[in-house]
Chains A and B, each alone.
Chain A
Amino acid sequence: MTSYRLDAGGAINRAQALTFTFDGQSFKGLDGDTVASALLANDQMLMARSFKYHRPRGVVTAGSSEPNALLTIGSGLRAEPNARATVTELYDGLVTTSQNRWPSLKTDIGAVNGLLSPFLGAGFYYKTFMWPASFWEKLYEPLIRRAAGLGKLVLQPDPDRYEKCWAHCDLLVIGAGPAGLMAALVAGRSGARVILADESFTLGGSLLSENVAIGETPASEFAKRTIEELASLPNVTLMPRTTVFGWYDDMVFGAVERVQKHVASPSPDLPMERLWRIVAKRAILASGAEERPLVFGGNDKPGVMTAGAVRSYLNRYGVAVGSRLAIFTNGGSGYRTAADLTARGIKVTAIIDARQQAPDLGPDGVRVIRNGAVVATKGRHRLESLIAERAGFQEVIDCDALAMSGGWSPIVHLMCQRGAKPIWSEEKQAFMAPNVGGAFVAAGGAHGADTIYACLRDGAAKAAAMMGELGFSAYQATLPEVEGEYDPSFAPVWYVPGAKDKAFVDFQNDVHVGDLGIAQREGFRHIEHTKRYTTSGMATDQGKLGNVNTAGIVAGMRGVSPAEIGTTTFRPFYTPVSFGALAGAARGEHAAPVRTSPLHGWAKKNGATFVESGLWYRSAWFAKEGEKTWRDSVDREVLNVRANAGLCDVSTLGKIEIFGAGAAEFLNRVYCNGFLKLPVGKARYGLMLREDGIVFDDGTTSRLSEQHYVMTTTTAYAAEVMAHLEFCAQTFWPELDVRFVFVTDEWAQMSLAGPKARIILSRIVEDDISNVAFSFLAVRTVTLRGGLKARLFRISFSGELAYELAVPAGYGEAVADAIMEAGREEAICAYGVEALNVLRIEKGFVTHNELDGRTTADDVGLGKMMAMQKADFIGKRLSTRFGLTAADRLQLVGLKPVEADKEIKAGAHLLKENAKPSLANDQGFVSSACFSPTLGGFIALAMLKSGRERTGEHIVVWDALRGAEVPAEVCQPVFFDPDNTRLHL
């Protein structure tokens, strides 16, 4: 037995045993364990194989910086690869699996890579797999990916729910160690709204791991009491299991809460994880400090870990990581570890201190080797002994674990995420948090405080200062005494030279000192280049443990201060965040909100197939029994509208009510055609331009009373048009009294079209709608039989006699039903947007297929609408500029295939007969195309160079994408009833 659970001690619940498996073997852990502490308690030091060389690895840390102990946690659809054993909370029944090994963790064939390692140094892939280029995707990359790697993703959908949430506070405290707890306590007692977030499942941070007394109670007891008090304050929110992963603009912090990651049977009513956006007036970063590993030959042997981790396993989890430990240190942390171990009866075989002189004393009976270094480690799957060197003499030290301490680095990640760089401190021999303004400051270990007392004091002081700034009367905390602290000073040792085995800097990506040397020699000297050439700091741990050592070692190689080397760029996320949490509830059919028309139910029961149009669901066609393809339905609907009547849902068109004494003048300025003289009770088709003279949108606007209009827009441009109107009113002509409001949702609007439309409608409407009383473009509020008020518009998008009837949305379905019933004898049918499209193509009416952001009014044959006599309108000035009036512009034409049954498709290009397809020969393109059942052949609208003068010309519709070339004849864009006789029936 080498590592084992002690009989007493630790913040674990010994009464609550938990069973879990690792690689199929069953183990027992305790409530309060992480997977790592539980595995260590079961003497399972070997937990993983390394990324590149497949070297055996154990834990190095007891926290979120862990580079080695990555496991697959959970099973089936919930299996999550690359979880850090050191932060994964144990639960009963948990299944864990090691990764990147075959056939087993102990016997891994991939370890042969270790023998090839002289060839696998930095830059190996770049130099080796250069050519032939075609081999890269097919051979090299798959091979490399198979050999090097992490865990495997589950490719089936995630069975769990996720949520996103907002939180607001006066003070966000990140980290619940001594500084964070004190800061939260001061702010909480001052009355501020406080959020205290910590990534662990037990709050307390280093207080759980350090063997000191605070105010005469053990540190962990102090933490517990403080947390109890914080929990009792209604203005304080405690968020355990919550990692604040990012700092964003305007003091918004991103955090992920692991709501049910630790639960054996998750509740379907709770999310698995919750993403928080925390808006904080002030924030304190109390994320503590990271202990740096020492870089020496064989420093990745399982059993070698940071001294702080050894203390965490000992004091927090009651686990001895070995039975005979050696210690390699450059400061007081190693001595404290020795003292904690011997106090619990665990043998310490030697303290190897890199310093010549040190204030520290080893515990009684423990040998101290000053000015010494570890140069090699022995053992296969776990440390069995090491070789220490002093003054040129080497000796073997017996040990089964090694605690190493290379000094401390404040964890400043979050404060550097918005561009500020950490600042090297010669005094602290560490990169310190930059000053990012007073709203977000570091406190405690994150600020370089190196004793518990200094952390408590710093947390209290920083919070008190912020309370003053926010106008609270700051609670004056009395700081408790702390007894038993150790001297935190250390002298930097960046690496031990001359090692035979690799001295790792980045454990997770298998980057060793030699790789850093290659990068320097080959010119990749900037730290960002060194990082990318060697991959140091590029693994999932983002170099939390290794980056400062990398900077220090590179500085040493270059003979400069680490200040000159600097750090690489810090970016969110601090630790990996699942895609599930980032997506929240927005997945599958909930990816975006759905908009349904008031006639959705009517369409459904009439057999509609729906099509997504933006967020809207519109009825595309209404299949009847026996119809095999959508075309069968659409052809029938079109013919029936032309012959009898059809009812179509047009509720999705944007509807804007416009009020005010300045409304007429306003409309006159936003439309290119005239609107001043539009009489009350009439609708007018209007065309809006952009300021550059290109068509923006079209629609009809009706004058309901002297100062009251209703405008319709296309479905797609409703929001844009409204924003445009508001922009014009608020910034161009604020002197015009005009007001707008969206009423799209108020009205169920249906188009009743066809020669029998009037007779059907007259059975529904009480008012006189004869052609004389209610002529083309008339608009009126009418009364439906039974008393319901409705708006009736005589407008047509089909070329037939047509009405649009608008009723309050809640009555939409009932009115549509009534119209269908009233038109039964006339063989009325429901028709969808596909038939609507065919009807309008037959009539040459344009939509955004033609108004595609490149066309002018003249291009689409509406040039005459432009009321150039108006003093001003949007787009007027630039509509006459040279490029927009050129003779060879693309103009709207009709196309008929020479053989009527040959299909033309939208998107195809146009060529002169016998012309070679080339950009220079391009004559234009097909904008809309359909089969016209009315004409019995395919027809199309197209934009053709100088098209209007080319009627009768034969051209080629070139559709290489779909492998078709169709000869076609250019014609007028109006295929049906060019004199509009049917409109005015």
Chain B
Amino acid sequence: MASLITCPHCGTRPKEEFSIRGAAAPRRPSPAARDEVWHRYVYVRDNPKGRYEEYWHHAAGCRRWLVVDRDNLTHEVFGVTDATDHLTAEAGE
């Protein structure tokens, strides 16, 4: 019927406003990275059950890419951050 995501920019919205891209953890390797690294980045994804971070695009709202931290079994959402902010925070750690 519906599920809801709270966009940090727009507030609570139904999932129909978003499109999902998959795991947010992989980082685009440098052009010089080894073949295996690129292979992993492009083709290999974990298929976790439970909590993980995922890219969601708020296509019908602010058009920002978001990182949704959620449990893919229960759909419990632990946090939603702007993807750019997420990267900045990660770089700061």
Contact = CB atoms under 8 A, between A and B. Distances in A.
**Direct A–B contact in complex, judged by CB atoms less than 8 Å apart:** yes
Contacts of A871: 31
Contacts of B14: 277
Nearest to B12: A279
A248 B55 contact: no
Nearest to B86: A731
Nearest to A248: B1
Contacts of B77: 250
A594 interface: no
27 contacts: A246-B1, A249-B3, A250-B2, A250-B3, A250-B77, A252-B2, A254-B1, A279-B2, A279-B4, A279-B12, A418-B74, A692-B43, A719-B59, A723-B19, A723-B57, A726-B65, A727-B21, A730-B83, A730-B84, A731-B55, A731-B65, A731-B87, A732-B28, A734-B84, A871-B31, A877-B29, A878-B42
Interface in B35-79: 35, 38, 41-43, 55, 57, 59, 63-65, 74-75, 77
Interface string A856-890: 00000000000000011000111001000000000
A872 B65 contact: no
Contacts of B87: 731, 734
A279 B1 CA distance: 11
A691 interface: yes
Contacts of B88: 734
B2 A878 contact: no
Nearest to A732: B28
A252 B1 contact: yes
B38 A878 contact: yes
B65 A730 contact: yes
Contacts of A727: 21, 55, 57, 65
Given A252-B2, A252-B4, 20 more contacts: A246-B1, A248-B1, A249-B2, A249-B4, A251-B4, A277-B2, A277-B14, A419-B74, A691-B41, A719-B59, A723-B59, A727-B21, A727-B57, A730-B82, A731-B84, A732-B28, A876-B31, A877-B29, A878-B38, A878-B42
A585 to B, nearest CB: 15
Contacts of A878: 38, 42
Interface string A554-576: 00000000000000000010000
A252 B15 CA distance: 12
A726 B65 CA distance: 8
Q: For chain B, which range describes its interface: under 10, 10 to 19, 20 to 34, or 35 or more residues?
A: 20 to 34
B42 A250 contact: no
A246 B42 CA distance: 39
B43 to A, nearest CB: 8
A246 B14 CA distance: 16
Contacts of B33: 877
Contacts of B12: 279
Given A246-B1, A719-B59, A730 B42 contact: no
B20 to A, nearest CB: 11
Q: What 4 pairs across the A-B complex have the smallest Cβ distances?
A: A249-B3, A250-B4, A254-B1, A872-B31
Nearest to A245: B1
A731 B83 CA distance: 6
A572 B14 CA distance: 19
A270 B42 CA distance: 52
A695 to B, nearest CB: 15
Contacts of A251: 4
Given A279-B4, A719-B59, A731-B84, A250 B75 contact: yes
Contacts of A730: 64-65, 82-84
Contacts of A872: 31
A247 to B, nearest CB: 9
B3 A726 contact: no
Contacts of A723: 19, 57, 59
Given A692-B42, A731-B87, A877-B38, A252 B31 contact: no
Contacts of A734: 84, 87-88
Interface of B: 1-4, 12, 14, 19, 21, 28-29, 31, 33, 35, 38, 41-43, 55, 57, 59, 63-65, 74-75, 77, 82-84, 87-88
Nearest to B75: A249
Contacts of B31: 871-872, 876-877
Nearest to B91: A734
Contacts of A881: 35
A251 B12 CA distance: 12
A673 to B, nearest CB: 17
A691 B39 CA distance: 10
Nearest to B15: A249
A248 B2 contact: yes
A871 B87 CA distance: 23
B90 to A, nearest CB: 11
Contacts of B43: 692
A440 to B, nearest CB: 14
A734 B31 CA distance: 17
A872 B30 CA distance: 9
A739 to B, nearest CB: 11
Nearest to B73: A419
A391 B14 CA distance: 63
Contacts of A250: 2-4, 75, 77
Contacts of B41: 691
Contacts of A877: 29, 31, 33, 38
The residue among A418, A719, A726, A881 with the most chain B CB atoms within 10 A of its own CB is: A726
A727 B22 CA distance: 12
Contacts of B63: 722, 726
Contacts of B42: 691-692, 878
Nearest to A882: B35
Contacts of B1: 246, 248, 252-254, 277, 572
Contacts of B4: 249-252, 279
B14 to A, nearest CB: 8
A669 to B, nearest CB: 10
Interface in A374-421: 418-419
A354 B73 CA distance: 46
A273 to B, nearest CB: 15
Contacts of B82: 730
A875 B5 CA distance: 32
B2 A726 contact: no
A728 to B, nearest CB: 9
The residue among B29, B31, B82 with the most chain A CB atoms within 10 A of its own CB is: B31
A253 B64 CA distance: 28
A787 B88 CA distance: 48
A418 B59 CA distance: 28
A871 B32 CA distance: 9
B83 to A, nearest CB: 5
A395 to B, nearest CB: 54
Contacts of A731: 55, 65, 83-84, 87
Nearest to B35: A881
A881 B42 CA distance: 12
Interface string A779-818: 0000000000000000000000000000000000000000
Contacts of A691: 28, 41-42
A726 B57 contact: yes
Nearest to A254: B1
B88 to A, nearest CB: 8
A740 to B, nearest CB: 8
A726 B75 CA distance: 26
B79 to A, nearest CB: 14
A648 B58 CA distance: 34
Contacts of A732: 28
